[in-house]
């Protein structure tokens, strides 16, 4: 019986071992919230996790920056009668969104918001908050608050009223199956969050924060941008789906004005004297740190992510010199935008690419004869750096470009400041004019300053003319930067401007006199002549007669033209009637989903339907509005 | 009743003589023999006097081999002897005239030999016990005689395994056990073999059974050499499995490896070689028809550029093209297997050692599998009260070749369904006049024809994707048994195993991954190291109360721990020219992208359990079990522990006096009843919100200053501290019967399993910020009947014939299910990536799992459905005819010939002439009505033959290949179609005389179109969306001749001359013939297995092969 006693003791022994924490397991590879937020290093990495979703395809690597940023009067994703209603980027860009369009899910934006909320709660409850590390922790919280606000801002811009909550999801799901919150409420919440965030986050250059991180200047700028949207028009979810703005819209303008002024007064951010350099730097993956014009760049990685340069930018075909080609059809532009610029505006040739490259397989530019098939020139393979080049030359398929997405530039601050001054004082103040001049000075050569900057701005005497000037200036300054659409929406002139583009393009094709954005053309040439420059790679752009008929060359025979190296292209009024018809029909088709006549529900239907899966997973808490 | 007793003895004696008799004479003979024997015995008894004489002889087994260790006693007298190593025995007998020798040996029938005065040269041949009731069956933490079983257990013995030369034991189980459904899901080297016992209860969790090998749970049994296995027992009802508590919910497969027999040292050598061939491919269009189809898609310059003018297309009739399926899967796979085993021992110590080497080349290019196994077991008796068993199993395997059904593992490409298998069907069979430039990809428009192909050359993409998986698995097991008192035994079982796996991948130039990285090679290295340990202690007490009551009680405790650590290394940007060996030799040439490591969280279970077996008069049997399990995956509160009771009772009716009289025909009858509960915790630990560092080989992060920043990210699943055990309740009624001395035996089982608190990964709304959350919701049930029969039809010395048969009916039902306000939810198999069909399976309360959900095919639109507009030269749909235009995306070819779907309903519940979501319905069921198998085994002298069939009846297959291969999917041109869409069958838009598109537009000519298509049997492939419709649902019933084996064993007289105990040669064929109406390559298929809710999809499965092997078994 002694033996039995041993056995019982043995089993009992095992049982005690087994009970004591045996089932409480963990792994250092997985951390729980309290661990993450009790060490600065971990908390910093958690915040990178939020940034990684800001850099996600759903946000600035693709959707927000490209797929959802068209169509306007100066940017569009083209389509034909078949593709315009398809569940692709072409359908949704032309405002024929359907809830089954795979371009439209918002999942990763909400995932980013959730990560930010976890971080905000984690920092608030962190033991470090009462220690010396609290400054760092508060900066991290500020970054998280800002990214959450950015997430909600993008959601509200694209869907109007959306589900909103300030806290992280609870495991009992009590705050998960929620319905929509009014956008005005959301705006107020995120502005309040940003006002907290800006207090703790450093300026660019401080504490080794670069513009690839969220910094004080950007937060202030974001407040201004959100305020202008909050105080601007939007499509309302009420009977008839009107475009309306809040009654106290001026309050938002006051705050926007104040934040812009704080940035300007601080002086950390300045304009890069060269508009071209801004883009060359971005394309060569160089972070510009002396002017810090780019207030926040989403840091994308070479070979990793980012559609800039691939889906938007000058179109390249495969050549030995630059390697793999790209497909630049996601964001297009047209000769209308080209002609909207002052012919001396240095921004024109940076922004509008009238060429493709290497179409014949030889490394040279090709002249684009189709006035509706221009690209945005701000992204250009030729500016990319050598490590990218060597990879792209070896590539046989799409290779990640890694060009950072610039969320906000300092010129935006200047123009928002000018705009709010004008609105708040019912006419341009000196400060407003000075801000506008700064932007224009950079856009012109010094020899043009007197006329194009001083005279131009000084003659803008009243509110309306200054407002129009702002409308135009923002078009010239920000083409292809996912800004125009939201400007036109908040000003409630999206449909109007798109129609203006259709009408004026038709007039150009008819050979009539047109004025685009204040630039008047009595008659555009009917034929254009172009030739290669001496290097036989670039087109001699300076001598292409975009603006006037070249009567000398008109007289020459085709053999003589050839001998001089010229190629003759029919242009605008010179085009065949059937071609003109095609162009006109195309432009009428583009963006036509905005119109009530087409969508059967309301005008200005720029908002997207909520993706069908999100509706079905909401257990009835969400429904689509605006007739979707 | 002395006379009666005598009678029964003589019946038994007489039975020994029966072996040469035909069964139809059987009953008559019994009586004749009985009379004769009684008479003879009476005479013999009288004529001999008492005297001690030495008797000598040999004992042999049923194959004629000498049998050492057999026990011989003289009946009625104490003492005896055992045979020596040569099977010889010497025994003193008092009265040789009347003495009866009683010979016994485990696994053999007891044999009584009346000496009748004979004293030398006695030859006794024992018969193996056809009577399975004496077999010992493994039950949880112990064994039981089959006759004492109360639960539902199916078994397959060493003897049955011996005749089936297979590479994995799961293969050997296929179709042989009632209620055990084994599906080889694909034909690939790494194909998962899916085992489901009684349907599986969980609807979203892993339904694999629990595998127990020599007492311990293991992850997989596929790495055990089949030749090392002694028996496999499958525990099916909860009364049997409740003792395993956790994880027993889906049944338990208990594998026992061979143990040496005392005294008899044997060396055996088994080997086979074989080859295999792919059985059936998908037929595709010939090069000419392919080019013709491309012309139908595009009559413009793009087409001409590649294939020339329409008038010249006839040249492609003589183009043999490339059969990519043959190129990739046309290899003859060669298998080789060698096994050497050594068994033996002296009185107190026994050992066996087995070495196995197998080498399998597969039918796919560059793919193969090699494995080495070492299995060693030693058992020793330390003293009278202690014995000790130690065993170890080592397995090392390498698998060559890329995964073909999966996409690239680094999957950073946008097209998730771009599998290599799909390539082989769709890749262009001819390249025409100009090679393709695949350099431009455009997801949205058709501006570049090259990009629309969107496929990779199947051969180069396989050749250039190097993948080698090394797996090393070590397992050590030690058992100490302590016989404390008579009947009281303590057993402690310790087990430790570790795995060390690593995989090298090199994606060189020509693969999709390399294409995304500047055509430069990409190197990816994975390691996985893990260990499992467990300790179980049991105390067993056997008690006899009087003559009639037996009690066996067991009390135990067990802890197990499982942990795996992984790491991954990714390097890119090797020079384009670097070959795979060069990359492997110098991985540091590339640029390291990331090194990730992950220390796994241990998964632990702690358990206490007990069992009482009570037997009254050997007739009334009762088993009670209980188990308490704690699992580390649940939150440490009252959700962590689960209590699982079980009870079973059996009544051996055949032992009742009123049946005993029927013993001559009814040899066994047993009724069993059981009830039990078991738990399932197969889910990760999700009760805390975890953060882990992003795996940078898979996830993109943030790249400030072009450097990859590490990100600590929360899991995509929302925590749930309330998650607890999923519980399965099993009720089982079984009837075992044996007729005619168990020559015909069988089992009928009825069961009803209910699984409640299902652990379901519930999708959360996207705006929650999470993908999903594990919750306990719903209830499913499986009801079924199983029948298995074994018949020893003829048992002669020279000729035996036996047959076995099993059939199982299972009905699955979702008893409770909610998804928010609905009692149903649609799930997607996802075979087509994010494209249609997105949702093709229905899970609905009251229905079974595996309901295929889609549209009903209604042929194609006729010319009567449309009006021809002679002005615009287009077709317009007549009023009242339902339109599916928006659904199938036919572009400009919406008119006669377009696929037509039935208008079933609309938003108001009535047909609304628009085909949309409302018109979907259940169009197929993946669950079979019944499955089973039957086989015949026969021996004639040295020859043996075994034939085995298995079947499945009443299940549907979702032939996604058919949808995928018959449409202009996503407007991708330059892809081939399957031959269903041949010109002879399909509706065409091109006039073959003129080459004009007479469908609509400029050359539109309705009369000519109608004339061209009067015999068309299938719609036009010109549709861009593949919706799921009933045409793609096919009857998956099949009956397969899965195995034929023919063997010959050399007579031992002959083999002895070569000092060989036995020598057998055999030839075997597998998957020889499959009778089915299914049009795809093989009806036994299920390729979308990530989600158990979408069974029965056939999409790009690795083709199955038939194989033929020839082998030898030699025992020295």
- Rounded to an integer, what distance in angstroms lies between the CA atom of residue B1006 and that of residue B999? 7
The confidence band for B204, taking pLDDT boundaries of 50, 70 and 90, is: low
Closest of B359, B389, B395 to residue B377, by C-alpha: B389
The confidence band for B147, taking pLDDT boundaries of 50, 70 and 90, is: low
Q: What does the pLDDT average to over B77-101?
A: 79
Interface test with B, best of A27, A140, A324 (most B CBs within 10 A): A27
Q: Which two tokens stand for residue B730?
A: 């099993």
**How high is the pLDDT of residue B43?**
41
Q: Tell me the C-alpha to C-alpha distance, in Å, between residue B499 and each of B392, B566, B813.
A: 13, 11, 38
**Is it the case that residue A109 has pLDDT exceeding 90?**
yes
DSSP B474: E
**Is it the case that residue B913 has pLDDT exceeding 80?**
yes
> Buried (b) or exposed (e) across B457-495, using 16+ Cβ within 10 A?
bbbebbbbbbbbbebbbbbebebbbbbbeeebbbbbbbb
Taking phi over 0 as left and psi of -120 to 50 as alpha, with beta for the rest, A536 belongs to left
DSSP B711: -
DSSP state letters, B627-639: EEEEETTS-SSTT
- Rounded to an integer, what distance in angstroms lies between the CA atom of residue A276 and that of residue A377? 10
What end-to-end distance do the CA atoms of chain B give, in Å?
Answer: 51
Q: Is A329 on the interface with B (CB under 8 A)?
A: yes
**How high is the pLDDT of residue B71?**
81
Q: Which two tokens stand for residue A270?
A: 């300045």
- Rounded to an integer, what distance in angstroms lies between the CA atom of residue B105 and that of residue B263? 13
Question: Could you identify the residue written with the tokens 């009846």?
Answer: B953
Q: What does the pLDDT average to over A306-332?
A: 86
Question: Are the C-beta atoms of B441 and B427 separated by less than 8 Å?
Answer: no
**How high is the pLDDT of residue B190?**
57
Question: Which residues of chain B make contact with A318, given a CB cutoff of 8 A?
Answer: 437, 439-440
Report the interhelical angle of A410-424 vs A430-443 (nearest 10°). Answer: 150
- Rounded to an integer, what distance in angstroms lies between the CA atom of residue B396 and that of residue B352? 19
Interface test with A, best of B538, B630, B706 (most A CBs within 10 A): B706
**How high is the pLDDT of residue B198?**
64
- Mapping DSSP to helix (H, G, I), strand (E, B) and coil, where does residue B608 land? strand
Question: Which residues of chain A make contact with B685, given a CB cutoff of 8 A?
Answer: 25
Strands B252-257 and B210-213: parallel
Question: Which residues of chain A make contact with B708, given a CB cutoff of 8 A?
Answer: 301, 304
Closest chain A residue to the Cα of B559, Cα to Cα? A18
Q: Which two tokens stand for residue B579?
A: 């070959």
Shortest Cα distance, chain B CAs vs residue A367, angstroms: 18
> Buried (b) or exposed (e) across A110-126, using 16+ Cβ within 10 A?
bbbbbbbbbbbbbbeeb
Q: How far is CA B516 from the centre of its chain?
A: 37
**Is it the case that residue A525 has pLDDT exceeding 80?**
yes
Q: Is B52 on the interface with A (CB under 8 A)?
A: no
Q: How far is CA A223 from the centre of its chain?
A: 16
**Is it the case that residue B131 has pLDDT exceeding 80?**
no
Interface of A with B in 472-491 (CB under 8 A): none
CA torsion sign for B792, B793, B794, B799 is negative
Radius of gyration of chain A (CA): 28
Interface test with B, best of A8, A21, A30, A70 (most B CBs within 10 A): A30
Q: Which two tokens stand for residue A240?
A: 């008839």
- Rounded to an integer, what distance in angstroms lies between the CA atom of residue B1089 and that of residue B1081? 18
Q: What is the average pLDDT value for chain A, to the nearest integer?
A: 91
Q: Which two tokens stand for residue B839?
A: 């949702």
Q: What does the pLDDT average to over B1069-1073?
A: 84
- Rounded to an integer, what distance in angstroms lies between the CA atom of residue B71 and that of residue B879? 92
Question: Are the C-beta atoms of B134 and B147 separated by less than 8 Å?
Answer: yes
- Here the ipTM equals 0.92
Q: Is A62 on the interface with B (CB under 8 A)?
A: no
Is B714–A210 a contact, with Cβ atoms under 8 angstroms apart?
no
The confidence band for B3, taking pLDDT boundaries of 50, 70 and 90, is: very low
Q: What is the average pLDDT value for chain B, to the nearest integer?
A: 79
Question: Which residues of chain B make contact with A52, given a CB cutoff of 8 A?
Answer: 694, 699-702, 709, 711, 713
Closest of B611, B609, B608, B493 to residue B541, by C-alpha: B611
Residue B1014 has a CB neighbour count (10 Å cut-off) of 8
SS3 track for A61-105? CCHHHHHCCCCCCCCECCCCCCHHHCCCHHHHHCCCCCCCCCCCC
- Mapping DSSP to helix (H, G, I), strand (E, B) and coil, where does residue B742 land? coil
Closest chain B residue to the Cα of A616, Cα to Cα? B765
> Which residues touch B460 (CB under 8 Å, ≥6 apart)?
B510
Is B769–A113 a contact, with Cβ atoms under 8 angstroms apart?
yes
Q: Which two tokens stand for residue B106?
A: 């485990």
- Rounded to an integer, what distance in angstroms lies between the CA atom of residue A357 and that of residue B442? 17
**How high is the pLDDT of residue A572?**
93
Shortest Cα distance, chain B CAs vs residue A456, angstroms: 40
Q: What does the pLDDT average to over B58-75?
A: 76
Q: What does the pLDDT average to over B462-473?
A: 86
Closest of B33, B36, B35 to residue B19, by C-alpha: B33
Is A176–B602 a contact, with Cβ atoms under 8 angstroms apart?
no
The predicted-structure confidence for B680-717, as pLDDT tens digits, reads as follows: 887 788 888 888 888 877 788 999 988 888 899 999 99
Closest of B712, B771, B768 to residue A49, by C-alpha: B712
Longest Cα–Cα distance in chain B: 123
The predicted-structure confidence for B991-1045, as pLDDT tens digits, reads as follows: 988 888 888 888 888 999 999 999 999 999 888 888 899 999 999 999 988 888 8
Closest of B361, B331, B275 to residue B1067, by C-alpha: B275
Shortest Cα distance, chain A CAs vs residue B527, angstroms: 16
Q: Is A98 on the interface with B (CB under 8 A)?
A: no
Q: What does the pLDDT average to over A94-112?
A: 89
Q: What does the pLDDT average to over B407-433?
A: 60
- Rounded to an integer, what distance in angstroms lies between the CA atom of residue B265 and that of residue B243? 36
**Is it the case that residue A466 has pLDDT exceeding 50?**
yes
Taking phi over 0 as left and psi of -120 to 50 as alpha, with beta for the rest, B117 belongs to left
Q: Is A566 on the interface with B (CB under 8 A)?
A: no
- Rounded to an integer, what distance in angstroms lies between the CA atom of residue B690 and that of residue B692? 7
DSSP state letters, B479-523: EEEEEEETTEEEEEEEEEEEEEEEEEEEE-TTSHHHHTTTT--EE
Which residue has better confidence, B1011 or B302? B1011
The predicted-structure confidence for B960-1006, as pLDDT tens digits, reads as follows: 889 888 888 766 777 889 999 999 999 999 998 888 888 888 888 89
Radius of gyration of chain B (CA): 34
**Is it the case that residue A386 has pLDDT exceeding 80?**
yes
Q: Which two tokens stand for residue A208?
A: 């080794």
The confidence band for A451, taking pLDDT boundaries of 50, 70 and 90, is: very high
Closest of B417, B521, B226 to residue B834, by C-alpha: B417
- Rounded to an integer, what distance in angstroms lies between the CA atom of residue A290 and that of residue A510? 48
Q: Is B843 on the interface with A (CB under 8 A)?
A: no
Q: What is chain A's length?
A: 628
Q: Which two tokens stand for residue A445?
A: 């050569």
Which stretch of DSSP H or E encloses residue B28? helix B26-47
The confidence band for B439, taking pLDDT boundaries of 50, 70 and 90, is: very low
Question: Which residues of chain A make contact with B631, given a CB cutoff of 8 A?
Answer: 23
DSSP B242: G
**Is it the case that residue B42 has pLDDT exceeding 50?**
no
Residue A307 has a CB neighbour count (10 Å cut-off) of 27
Is B691–A46 a contact, with Cβ atoms under 8 angstroms apart?
yes
Q: Tell me the C-alpha to C-alpha distance, in Å, between residue B723 and each of B202, B530, B641.
A: 15, 26, 11
Interface test with B, best of A303, A308, A324, A619 (most B CBs within 10 A): A303
Longest Cα–Cα distance in chain A: 124
A614: nearest CB among B601, B709, B766? B766
- Rounded to an integer, what distance in angstroms lies between the CA atom of residue B624 and that of residue A175? 46
SS3 track for B252-300? EEEEEECCCCCCCCEEEEEEEEEEEEECCCCCECCHHHHHHHHHHHCCC
């Amino acid at each position: 019986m002694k033996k039995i006693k041993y056995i019982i003791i043995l089993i009992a022994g095992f049982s005690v071992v087994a009970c004591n924490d045996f089932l409480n397991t963990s792994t250092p590879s997985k951390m729980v919230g309290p661990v993450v937020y009790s060490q600065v290093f971990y908390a910093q990495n958690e915040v990178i996790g939020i940034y990684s979703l800001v850099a996600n395809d759903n946000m600035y690597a693709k959707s927000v920056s490209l797929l959802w940023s068209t169509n306007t009067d100066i940017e569009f994703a083209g389509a034909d009668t078949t593709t315009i209603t398809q569940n692709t980027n072409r359908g949704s860009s032309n405002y024929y969104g359907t809830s089954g369009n795979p371009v439209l899910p918002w999942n990763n934006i909400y995932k980013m918001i959730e990560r930010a909320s976890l971080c905000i709660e984690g920092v608030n409850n962190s033991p470090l908050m009462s220690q010396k590390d609290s400054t760092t922790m508060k900066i991290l919280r500020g970054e998280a608050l800002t990214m959450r606000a950015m997430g909600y801002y993008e959601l509200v811009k694209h869907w109007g009223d959306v589900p909103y909550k300030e806290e992280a999801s609870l495991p009992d799901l009590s705050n998960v199956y929620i319905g929509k919150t009014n956008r005005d409420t959301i705006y107020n919440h995120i502005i309040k969050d940003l006002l907290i965030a800006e207090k703790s986050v450093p300026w660019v250059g401080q504490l080794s924060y670069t513009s690839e991180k969220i910094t004080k200047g950007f937060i202030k700028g974001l407040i201004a941008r959100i305020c202008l949207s909050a105080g601007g028009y939007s499509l309302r979810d009420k009977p008839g789906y009107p475009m309306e703005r809040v009654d106290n819209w001026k309050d938002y303008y006051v705050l926007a004005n104040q934040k812009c002024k704080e940035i300007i007064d601080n002086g950390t951010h300045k304009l890069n004297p060269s508009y071209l350099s801004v883009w060359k730097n971005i394309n060569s993956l160089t972070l510009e740190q002396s002017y810090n014009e780019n207030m926040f760049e989403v840091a994308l990685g070479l070979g990793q992510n980012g559609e800039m340069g691939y889906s938007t930018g000058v179109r390249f075909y495969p050549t030995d010199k630059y390697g793999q080609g790209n497909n630049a059809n996601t964001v297009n532009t047209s000769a209308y935008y080209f002609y909207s610029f002052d012919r001396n505006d240095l921004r024109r040739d940076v922004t509008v690419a009238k060429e493709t490259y290497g179409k014949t397989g030889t490394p040279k530019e090709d002249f684009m004869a189709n006035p509706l098939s221009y690209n945005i020139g701000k992204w250009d393979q030729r500016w990319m750096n050598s490590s990218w080049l060597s990879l792209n030359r070896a590539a046989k398929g799409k290779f990640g470009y890694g060009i950072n997405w610039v969320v906000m530039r300092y010129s935006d601050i200047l123009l928002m400041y000018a705009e709010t001054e004008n609105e708040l004082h019912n006419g341009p103040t000196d400060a407003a004019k000075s801000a506008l001049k700064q932007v224009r000075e950079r856009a012109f050569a010094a020899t043009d300053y007197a006329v194009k900057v001083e005279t131009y701005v000084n003659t803008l005497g009243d509110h309306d003319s200054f407002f129009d000037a702002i409308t135009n200036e923002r078009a010239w300054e920000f083409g292809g930067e996912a800004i125009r659409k939201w400007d036109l929406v908040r000003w409630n002139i999206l449909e109007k401007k798109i129609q203006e583009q259709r009408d004026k393009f038709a007039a150009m094709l008819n050979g009539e006199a047109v004025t685009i954005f204040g630039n008047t053309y009595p008659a555009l040439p009917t034929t254009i002549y172009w030739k290669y420059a001496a290097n036989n790679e670039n087109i001699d752009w300076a001598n292409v007669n975009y603006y006037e008929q070249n009567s000398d060359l008109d007289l020459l025979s085709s053999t003589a033209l050839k001998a001089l190296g010229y190629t003759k292209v029919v242009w605008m009024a010179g085009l065949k009637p059937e071609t003109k018809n095609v162009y006109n029909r195309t432009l009428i088709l583009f963006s036509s989903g905005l119109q009530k006549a087409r969508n059967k529900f309301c005008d200005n239907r720029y908002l997207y339907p909520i993706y069908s899966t999100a509706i079905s997973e909401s257990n009835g808490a969400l429904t689509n509005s605006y007739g979707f | 009743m002395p006379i009666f007793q005598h009678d029964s003895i003589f019946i038994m004696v007489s039975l020994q003589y029966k072996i040469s008799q035909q069964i139809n004479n059987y009953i008559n003979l019994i009586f004749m023999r009985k009379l004769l024997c009684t008479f003879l015995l009476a005479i013999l008894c009288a004529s001999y006097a008492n005297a001690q004489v030495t008797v000598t002889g040999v004992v042999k087994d049923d194959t004629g081999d000498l049998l050492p260790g057999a026990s011989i006693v003289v009946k009625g007298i104490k003492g005896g002897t055992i045979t020596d190593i040569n099977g010889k025995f010497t025994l003193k007998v008092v009265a040789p005239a009347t003495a009866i020798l009683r010979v016994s040996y485990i696994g053999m029938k007891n044999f009584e030999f009346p000496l009748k005065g004979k004293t030398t040269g006695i030859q006794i041949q024992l018969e193996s016990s056809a009577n399975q009731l004496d077999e010992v069956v493994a039950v949880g933490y112990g064994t039981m005689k089959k006759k004492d079983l109360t639960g539902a257990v199916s078994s397959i013995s060493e003897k049955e395994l011996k005749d089936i030369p297979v590479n994995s034991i799961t293969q050997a189980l296929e179709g042989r056990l009632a209620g055990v459904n084994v599906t080889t899901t694909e034909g690939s080297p790494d194909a998962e073999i899916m085992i489901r016992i009684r349907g599986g209860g969980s609807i979203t969790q892993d339904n694999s059974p629990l595998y127990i090998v020599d007492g311990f749970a293991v992850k997989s049994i596929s790495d055990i050499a089949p030749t090392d296995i002694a028996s496999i027992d499958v525990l099916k009802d909860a009364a049997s499995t409740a003792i395993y508590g956790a994880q027993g919910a889906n049944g338990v497969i208990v594998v026992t490896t061979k143990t040496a027999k005392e005294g008899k040292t044997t060396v055996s050598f088994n080997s086979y070689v074989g080859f295999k061939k792919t059985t059936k491919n998908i037929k595709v269009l010939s090069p000419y028809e392919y080019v013709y189809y491309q012309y139908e898609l595009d009559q413009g310059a793009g087409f001409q550029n590649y294939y020339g003018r329409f008038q010249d297309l006839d040249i492609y009739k003589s183009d043999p093209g490339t059969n990519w399926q043959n190129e990739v899967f046309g290899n003859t796979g060669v298998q080789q297997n060698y096994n050497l085993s050594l068994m033996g021992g002296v009185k107190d110590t026994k050992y066996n050692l087995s070495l196995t080497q197998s080498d399998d080349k597969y039918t796919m290019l560059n793919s193969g599998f090699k494995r080495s196994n070492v299995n060693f077991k030693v058992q020793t008796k330390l003293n009278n009260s202690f014995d000790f068993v130690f065993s170890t199993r080592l397995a090392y395997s390498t698998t060559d070749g890329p995964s073909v059904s999966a996409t690239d593992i680094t999957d950073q490409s946008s097209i998730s369904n771009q599998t290599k298998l799909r390539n082989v069907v769709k890749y262009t069979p001819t390249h025409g006049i100009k090679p393709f430039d695949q350099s431009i990809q455009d997801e949205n428009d058709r501006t570049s024809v090259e990009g629309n192909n969107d496929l990779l050359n199947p051969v180069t993409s396989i050749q250039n994707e190097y993948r080698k998986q090394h797996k090393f698995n070590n397992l050590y097991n030690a058992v100490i048994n302590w016989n404390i008192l008579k009947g009281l035994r303590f057993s402690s079982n310790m087990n430790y195993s570790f795995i060390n796996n690593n995989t090298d991948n090199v994606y060189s130039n020509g693969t999709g991954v390399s294409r995304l990285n500047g055509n430069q090679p990409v190197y990816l290295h994975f390691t996985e190291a893990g260990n499992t340990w467990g300790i179980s202690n049991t105390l067993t007490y056997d008690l006899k109360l009087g003559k009639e009551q037996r009690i066996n009680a067991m009390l135990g405790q067990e802890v197990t721990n499982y942990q795996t650590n992984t790491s991954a290394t990714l390097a890119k940007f090797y020079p384009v020219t670097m070959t795979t060996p060069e990359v492997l030799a110098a991985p540091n040439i590339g640029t390291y992208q990331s090194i990730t490591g992950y220390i796994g969280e241990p998964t632990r279970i702690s358990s206490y359990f007990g069992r009482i077996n009570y037997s009254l008069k050997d007739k009334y049997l009762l088993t009670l079990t209980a188990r308490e399990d704690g699992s580390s995956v649940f939150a440490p509160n009252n959700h962590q522990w689960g209590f699982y009771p079980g009870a079973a009772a059996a009544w051996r009716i055949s032992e009742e006096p009123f049946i005993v009289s029927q013993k001559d025909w009814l040899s066994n009858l047993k009724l069993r009843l059981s009830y039990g509960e078991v738990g399932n915790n197969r889910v990760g630990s999700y009760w805390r919100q975890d953060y882990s560092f992003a795996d940078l080989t898979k996830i993109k992060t943030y790249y400030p200053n072009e450097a990859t920043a590490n990100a600590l990210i929360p899991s995509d699943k929302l925590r749930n501290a309330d998650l607890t055990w999923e519980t399965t309740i099993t009720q089982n009624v079984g009837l075992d019967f044996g007729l005619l001395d168990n020559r015909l035996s069988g089992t009928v089982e009825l069961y009803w399993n209910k699984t409640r608190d299902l652990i379901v990964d519930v999708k959360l709304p996207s705006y929650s910020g999470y993908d999903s959350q594990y919750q306990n919701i719903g209830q499913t049930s499986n009801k079924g009947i199983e029948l298995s029969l074994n018949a020893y039809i003829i048992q002669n010395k020279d000729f035996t014939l036996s047959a076995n048969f099993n059939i199982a009916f299972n009905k699955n039902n979702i008893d409770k299910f909610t998804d928010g306000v609905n009692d149903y939810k649609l799930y997607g198999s996802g075979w087509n990536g994010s494209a249609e069909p997105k949702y093709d399976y229905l899970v609905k309360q009251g229905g079974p799992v595996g309901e295929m959900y889609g549209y009903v095919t209604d042929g194609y639109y006729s010319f009567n459905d449309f009006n021809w507009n002679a002005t615009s030269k287009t077709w317009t749909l007549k009023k009242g005819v339902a339109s599916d235009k928006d659904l199938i995306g036919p572009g400009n070819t919406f008119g006669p010939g377009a696929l037509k779907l039935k208008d079933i309903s609309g938003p108001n519940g009535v047909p609304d002439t628009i085909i949309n979501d409302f018109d979907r319905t259940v169009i197929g069921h993946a669950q079979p009505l019944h499955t089973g198998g039957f086989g015949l085994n026969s021996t004639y002298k040295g020859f043996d033959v075994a034939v085995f069939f298995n079947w499945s009846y009443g299940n549907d297959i979702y032939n996604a290949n058919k949808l995928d291969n018959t449409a202009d999917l996503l407007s991708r041109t330059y892809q081939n179609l399957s031959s269903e869409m041949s010109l002879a069958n399909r509706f065409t838009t091109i006039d073959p005389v003129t080459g004009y598109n007479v469908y609509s537009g400029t050359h539109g000519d309705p009369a000519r179109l109608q004339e061209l298509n009067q015999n068309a049997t299938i719609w036009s492939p010109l549709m861009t969306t593949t919706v799921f419709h009933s045409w793609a649902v096919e009857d998956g019933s099949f009956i397969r001749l899965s195995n034929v084996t023919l063997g010959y064993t050399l007579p031992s007289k002959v083999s002895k001359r070569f000092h060989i105990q036995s020598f057998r040669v055999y030839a075997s064929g597998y998957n020889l013939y499959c009778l089915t109406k299914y049009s795809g390559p093989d009806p036994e298929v299920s390729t979308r297995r990530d989600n158990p809710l979408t069974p029965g999809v056939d999409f790009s499965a690795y083709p199955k092969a038939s194989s033929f092997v020839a082998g030898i078994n030699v025992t020295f």
